[in-house]
């Protein structure tokens, strides 16, 4: 068994929960009521996704973003 690292983004939602996305695995979007629950859901979602890829004899994607921290900023746009 090999370990694979993937950047996971936990985005706070207005109602206090967290949406989870994994940019290197675009099919994954999950949710947690707390940050801890969101982490558990992310772990489960990524594990299931990777196991499915292996079952289908597909290669596991390498996360091109895992080495460097992201630059995050808010853009204000007037239209």
Structure-token match 């706070």, residue found? 12
CATH architecture designation of domain 1-79: 2-Layer Sandwich (3.30)
- Residues 6 or more apart whose Cβ sits within 8 Å of residue 78: none
What tokens appear for 48 in the block? 């299931």
CA angle 10, 6, 27 (to 5 degrees): 70
What tokens appear for 30 in the block? 């999950």
pLDDT of residue 36: 95
- Residues 6 or more apart whose Cβ sits within 8 Å of residue 46: 6, 8, 22, 25, 28
Could you report the per-residue pLDDT of 29-42, keeping only the tens digit for each? 999 999 999 999 99
pLDDT of residue 66: 64
């Amino acid at each position: 068994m090999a370990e694979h690292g993937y950047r996971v983004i936990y985005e706070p939602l207005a109602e206090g929960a967290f949406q989870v996305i994994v940019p290197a695995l675009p099919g994954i979007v999950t949710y947690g009521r707390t940050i801890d629950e969101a982490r558990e859901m992310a772990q489960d979602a990524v594990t299931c996704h990777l196991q499915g890829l292996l079952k289908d004899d597909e290669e596991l994607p390498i996360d091109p973003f895992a080495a460097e921290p992201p630059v995050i900023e808010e853009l204000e746009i007037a239209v």
